[in-house]
Amino acid sequence: MTSPLHSIMTKLTAGFIILVLVISGLTFYFTYGASSGKIQESTQQELLALASITASDLNGDEIAKLQPGMESEVLYLMNVEQLAAMAKSDGEIVKIYTLRKNGDQMEYVIDSGYNSGTRNFRIGTPEPNPSDAMIRAYSGREVEREFIQRPWGTVLSAYAPILGATGKVIGIVGVDMDARVVQKRMSFVGQTIYLIMFLGIICAGLIIAIFSRTMIRDIHILIDSANRISRGDTDVAITITRNDEIGELASSFKRMVTSLKILMHTDYKQE
């Protein structure tokens, strides 16, 4: 009896699974990076679009009037509500805020979380390390290429300029998405590829097991028949009907057995 380790079925199954693993691995290697990059890019575009819409909805001249200490005034609270509503419309947005230049520095003006217990700054709170994208956003909408660390978490940010009635840039609006959301989207690709690999291996294993099972069964029939004949028992019936190589082997085997039967038959022995 052939041991499972040396069985054709084991070898075929192992070979097929290795093949699936190699193909899946190569697919993963060549597609994961590109797919993740595309997902990050599309997330950046989504943030840019939201930043642009928010900026176009804001009244730049009103924002220019807001000065430190005016947080309880209707003008401020209305703008806070407007930003909060925009942030709420997309559940994956952590915060929307506005910034403006104050001399050489940049300072925060409106915080979408001001009324919801997630306030991080007041009017005039300086941004200690304005990024290049923030500064460039005065000229046009911009997005951070990498995640950045903010007091409210690690985020991916996009900015758009806020215009006054005369078309002058009053400040910028920033839209922050939690980095975990972006990473989750990116890891979805990897997880999907892993899932496909897993399903591919299971399917490959099942297919090869089913195919090889009938093949091995027929080989065992031939082995059993050969063993019986080798012990002098020619009364064997080989019922294998296949159109492949094993079927051909079975036909040859049948002819051989028939010849043995004829030669061992009493009538023919006397010849």
Partner 1 sequence: MSTTSDAVLETATEYLGPAAITLLERQTKFHMQGLSFQDLQSSHCTELAKWVGIASAMFIEQDKAEELADKIRNLGV
Q: How far is the CB of 26 from partner 1 (least distance, A)?
A: 48
Q: Which is nearer to partner 1, 72 or 270 (CB)?
A: 270
**26 vs 262 by CB, closer to partner 1:** 262
Minimal distance, residue 7 CB to partner 1, in Å: 30
- Of 215 and 238, nearer to partner 1 (C-beta) is 238
Minimum CB distance to partner 1, residue 27 (Å): 49
- Which of residues 235 and 245 has its CB atom nearest to partner 1 in the complex? 235
Least distance between partner 1 and beta carbon 262 (Å): 4
- C-alpha distance from residue 238 to each of 14, 47, 180, 246 (Å): 30, 72, 65, 12
CB of 239 to partner 1, least distance (A): 10
**Angle made by CA atoms 51, 118, 73, in degrees to the nearest 5:** 80
Write out the residues near partner 1 by the rule CB under 8 A: 254-263, 265, 267-268, 271
Q: Which CB, 208 or 236, lies closer to partner 1?
A: 236
In the complex, least distance from residue 254 CB atom to partner 1, rounded to whole angstroms: 8
Give the residue with the Cβ less far from partner 1, 182 or 221. 221
| Residue 172: closest CA among 61, 251, 55 | 55
